[in-house]
Amino acid sequence: MAQTVLNSRAPSILVAMATSGGKHPRSDSKTKNSGQHITIREVAKAAGASVSTISAALNNSDYVSAEMRSRIQGAIKQLKYRPNDLARGLRLQKTHTIAVIVPDLSNNFYVDVVRGAKDYSTSANYTVLVGDSREKWDEERDYLDSFHRRRVDGVVRVPAMDALTKKMKPILGNIPWIYADRYPASGDSSVGRVGIDNVVAADNATRYLLSLGHRSIGIISGDISSGTSADRLEGFLQALRAANIRPDRSMILAGHNDIESGHKHAMQLLQRAQRPTAIFCTNNMMALGAFAAIQELGMRCPEEISLLGFDDFYWSTLLRPTLTVVRQPAREVGMIAARMLIDHVEGRSPIETPVLLATQLIVRDSCSPPRQMNA
């Protein structure tokens, strides 16, 4: 058992032999096909039929006699024939493929969006390609470009945070796309968008905090180039106004939807002389950052500070305290996005857009009434 143990750093590249030999070794003289894969042509030969008949049998339409059909099946099985989707897509001018690009696959919310899109697509006989931009426009652009070159039939897009102002038409051309979850404040769109009703979600969440007695609430929201973040902030403010509380601008911080900015801004809020009694984070990563900040400062949650997050994790209940969050129907967002996109692609009449799904406030342990003011 010769086991090579490589240091993870080891860059050792064992190099190149001659690339391609001068001669192309044509081994089989029987069939014209030179290479790797068996083609419909070889199936035809084996079944004693013509190429077009094989194709007809494959797309089981048309007139193919039962006998011929079974002969073809036999040949296919025996040769282990697999259709070439490149050729198919080229000829058909249709790939039966959609792409889904999300900003962060390590965020389970987006994994669920992807899975939703995948499941719907599968049921509609489409396959999906997934991209993971890691919140970087450059990566997103590269993915979109690649999707374009592969001629996907459409894309479900959750833009990276720094990509919200980018124009899509130059990148995607005629390929339709739909926004899921996030969407740009500027209304560049193609098929529409699906997400949640961010305003009412944030409004409800904030009302919950108010109902507990909180009057001084900090919010760590996303960048307002995102319509999503803007809406959540809007909902927050709306709830405050409804309760006749004047929002304190210094309590409103714009993060970047990642752990770091959640942490940074929570630190900032918590170390003020007049600190809030509750913090509302408008996405899950920032909530995690805030959670960490609270732990670091040794503050007791929820006794000293309440924390309200967005999006649920499957491991939310393992944290102490367990996290109270606004749960979004991630999977449904993905499913509906895929559905709308595919409907559009297939020329079916579109449903109204934007589609806004309802959220749910999952009350757990991280929020409680604030301590007495002078405690």
Cβ contact 312:329 at 8 Å: no
Q: Which of 29, 187, 244, 374 is in the footprint of its own copies by CB under 8 A?
A: 187
Give the DSSP H/E element, type plus range, for residue 154.
Answer: strand 154-157
- Which lies closer to its own copies via its Cβ, residue 60 or residue 347? 347
Contact 170, 143 (CB under 8 A): no
Query: Taking CB under 8 A as the rule, does residue 124 contact its own copies?
Result: no
The angle that helices 284-296 and 259-270 make with each other, rounded to 10 degrees, is: 50
The residue from 25, 249, 352, 374 that contacts its own copies (CB under 8 A) is 352
Pick from its own copies, DNA, none: which does 148 bind, CB < 5 to 8 A by kind? its own copies
Q: Is 137 in the site for its own copies (CB under 8 A)?
A: no
Out of 58, 267, 319, 362, which residue is the one contacting its own copies (CB under 8 A)? Answer: 319
Cα–Cα dist 99/111, whole Å: 14
* β-pairing verdict for 324-327 and 360-362: antiparallel
Least distance from C-beta 233 to its own copies, angstroms?
13
Choosing from 28, 48, 62, 82, the residue that interacts with its own copies (CB under 8 A) is 82
CA angle 74, 78, 83 (to 5 degrees): 90
CA 314 to CA 323: how far, in whole Å? 11
The two tokens of residue 330 are: 């991630």
Question: Is cis: bond before 302, omega within 30 of 0?
Answer: yes
**Shortest spacing between CB 148 and DNA, in angstroms:** 11
Could you tell which of DNA, its own copies, none binds residue 314, using a CB distance below 5 to 8 A set by kind?
its own copies
Nearer to its own copies, 248 or 346 (CB): 346
As measured in angstroms, the least distance from the Cβ of 351 to its own copies is 5
CB of 44 to its own copies, least distance (A): 18
**DSSP state letters, 70-116:** HHHHHHHHHHT----HHHHHHHHT---EEEEEES-TTSHHHHHHHHH
Binding site residues, DNA, CB under 7 A? 32-35, 37, 39-41, 48-56, 58-59, 62-65, 67-69, 81-84, 87-88, 90-93
Q: Quick check: 174 binds its own copies (CB under 8 A)? A: yes
Nearest distance from C-beta of residue 86 to DNA, angstroms: 7
